[in-house]
Amino acid sequence: MPVDLISPHNKELKINDITIIDNKKLKKAVAASALGNAMEWFDFGVYGFIAVTLGKVFFPETSGSTQILAALATFAVAFIIRPVGGIFFGLLGDKLGRQKILATTIIIMAISTFCIGLIPGYASIGIWAPILLLCCRLLQGFSTGGEYTGATIFIAEYSPDRKRGFMGSWLDFGSTAGFLVGAGLVTLITHLLGDEKMLEWGWRIPFLLAGPLGLIGLYLRSNIDETPAFEKMQEKQQSDAEHGISKISLKEIVTRHWQPLLICMGLVIVWNVTYYMLLTYMPSYLSSNLHYSESHGVILIIVIMICMLCVQPFIGLLSDKVGRKPLITIASFGLFFLAIPSFHLIMHDDVIYIFTGLMILGVLLSLLTGVMASTLPALFPTSIRYSALAISFNISVSLFCGTTPLIAQWLIEVTQNLMMPAYYLMIVAVIGFVAISFTKETANKPLRGATPAASDKAEAKELLQEHHDSIEAKVEDLTAQIDALTEKREQLIEQHPKLN
Q: Is the model more confident about 114 or about 328?
A: 328
Q: Is the model more confident about 391 or about 12?
A: 391
When mean pLDDT is compared over 67-81, 134-148, 361-375, 473-487, the highest value belongs to 361-375
Mean pLDDT of the chain: 84
Residue 327 vs residues 69, 98, 403, 405: alpha-carbon distances, Å: 34, 28, 26, 26
CB burial readout 93-128, b (16+ within 10 A) else e: bbeebbbbbbbbbbbbbbbbbbbbbebebbeeeeee
CA atoms of 146 and 91, how far apart (whole Å): 10
Q: Confirm whether pTM is higher than 0.85.
A: no
238-251 average pLDDT score = 61
Please write the tens of the pLDDT for every residue from 398-452.
888 878 888 898 899 899 899 999 999 999 999 999 999 999 999 988 888 777 8
Residues forming a β-bridge with 454: 20
CB burial readout 446-456, b (16+ within 10 A) else e: bbbbbbbbbbe
Decide which of 3.40.50.300, 1.20.1250.20, 2.40.50.140, 3.40.50.150 is the CATH code for 20-237+245-455. 1.20.1250.20
pLDDT surpasses 80 at 202: yes
Please write the tens of the pLDDT for every residue from 339-379.
999 999 999 888 899 999 999 999 999 999 999 999 999 99
CB burial readout 340-361, b (16+ within 10 A) else e: eebbebbbeeeeeebbebbbbb
CA atoms of 47 and 399, how far apart (whole Å): 19
When mean pLDDT is compared over 66-75, 387-396, 465-474, the highest value belongs to 387-396
